[in-house]
Amino acid sequence: MAEIAFRNVGKRYGGTVALSDASFTIHDNEFFCFFGPPLSGKSTILRLILGLEMPDHGEILIGGKPVNAVSPAERNVAMVFQNLALFPHMSARDNIRFPLAERKVPQAEIERKLADVTAKLHIGHILHKQPAQLSGGERQRVAIARALVRDPVAYLMDDPISALDARLREETRVELKRIQRELGKTLIYVTHDQEEAMSVADRMAILEAGVIRQVGAPLEIYDHPASTYVARLLGSPMMNILPSTASGRDIRVADGAIAVEGLAGVAEIAEVGVRPEDIKVSAWTQGQSGTPSRVYEVEPLGGYTVVTVDAGPSRVRALMRGQPDIRPETMVALSCDAAAVHLFSRNGTALSR
Ligand code: ADP
Ligand code: MG
Alpha-carbon torsion, ordered 316, 317, 323, 327, to 10 deg: 40
**Bigger pLDDT: 8 vs 256:** 8
Report the separation in Å between the CA atom of 43 and the middle of ligand 2, taken as the mean of its atom positions: 4
**Bigger pLDDT: 65 vs 267:** 65
Query: Residue 344 carries which side chain, given as an amino acid letter?
Result: F
Choose among 231, 329, 323, 330: nearest CA to 272. 231
pLDDT at 323 (0 to 100): 95
Q: Mean pLDDT throughout 289-297?
A: 92
| Confidence tier at 1 by pLDDT (50, 70, 90) | low
- Residue ranges of the chain that CATH labels 3.40.50.300: 4-233
Report the separation in Å between the CA atom of 11 and the middle of ligand 2, taken as the mean of its atom positions: 15
What are the b/e assignments for 277-301, b being 16+ CB within 10 Å? ebbbbeebeeeeeebbbebeebeee
Q: Please state, as a whole number, how many other Cβ atoms lie within 10 Å of the Cβ of residue 220.
A: 13
Nearest protein CA to atom 17 of ligand 1, as residue: 18
pLDDT at 253 (0 to 100): 87
**Bigger pLDDT: 291 vs 230:** 230
> Using CA atoms, how far apart are residues 352 and 274, in angstroms rounded to an integer?
15
> Using CA atoms, how far apart are residues 204 and 190, in angstroms rounded to an integer?
10
- Residue ranges of the chain that CATH labels 2.40.50.140: 240-344
Domain 4-233 has CATH 1.10.1510.10: no
> Using CA atoms, how far apart are residues 76 and 93, in angstroms rounded to an integer?
22
pLDDT at 150 (0 to 100): 79
Nearest protein CA to atom 14 of ligand 1, as residue: 39
Please tell me the CATH code under which domain 240-344 is placed.
2.40.50.140
What does DSSP assign to residue 263? -
Please, are residues 330 and 292 in contact by the beta-carbon 8 Å criterion?
no
Q: Which of 42, 44, 82, 162 to mutate to test the pocket of ligand 1 (most atoms within 8 A of CB)?
A: 44
pLDDT at 81 (0 to 100): 64
> Using CA atoms, how far apart are residues 192 and 162, in angstroms rounded to an integer?
9
Predicted confidence (pLDDT) per residue in 27-81, tens digit: 999 999 999 999 999 999 999 999 999 999 999 999 999 999 999 989 989 887 6
Question: Which of ligand 1's atoms lies nearest the C-alpha of 36?
Answer: 3
